């Protein structure tokens, strides 16, 4: 990856995944961001980039599911559909009101 933003970007993606699933993540890489991330997306431990080393951590297993694990993107697709339907009905209502006043 060189000096690109790829390594920090991958770490940010991992943090977001931990946050949306509510699960800790152990991220092991050969030259990137080896890290321990808690279920809230906070980095608990991080090895320096491009350095061979060992990171030891204890992580508590979890039970249960977050809303995102249960529904995935269906929640966001449903909200989007509701917004589109609301906009469509509002547009129809405005046209009917305009035609009645003409």
Angle at 58 between CA 37 and CA 5, to 5 degrees: 25
Q: Give the E-state strand segments of the chain in sequence order.
A: 25-27, 35-37, 43-46
Our CA dihedral for 3, 7, 8, 13, rounded to 10 degrees, sits at: 150
Mean pLDDT over 7-25 rounds to 93
Give the tokens for residue 17: 């995944």
Q: Quick one: pLDDT band at residue 79, thresholds 50, 70, 90?
A: very high
Read off the pLDDT band of 101 (50, 70, 90): low
pLDDT tens digits, one per residue of 17-74: 999 888 999 999 988 899 999 999 999 999 998 888 999 998 888 777 777 778 888 9
Domain ranges (residues) in the chain: 1-69, 72-102
CA distance 21 to 77: 18
Question: How many CB atoms are located within 10 Å of the residue 38 CB?
Answer: 17
Cα 12 versus chain centre, distance = 9
96 pLDDT band, cuts 50/70/90, is low
For residue 71, the model assigns a pLDDT of: 82
Position 100 confidence tier, pLDDT thresholds 50, 70, 90? low
């Amino acid at each position: 990856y060189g000096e690109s933003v790829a390594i920090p970007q991958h770490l940010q993606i991992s943090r977001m995944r931990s946050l949306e699933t509510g699960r800790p993540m152990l991220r092991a890489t050969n030259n990137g961001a080896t890290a321990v991330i808690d279920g809230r997306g906070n980095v608990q431990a991080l090895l320096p980039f491009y350095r061979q080393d060992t990171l030891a951590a204890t992580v508590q297993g979890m039970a249960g599911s977050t809303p995102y694990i249960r529904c995935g993107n269906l929640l966001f697709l449903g909200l989007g559909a509701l917004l589109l339907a609301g906009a469509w009905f509002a547009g129809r209502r405005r046209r009917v009101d305009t035609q009645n006043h003409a």
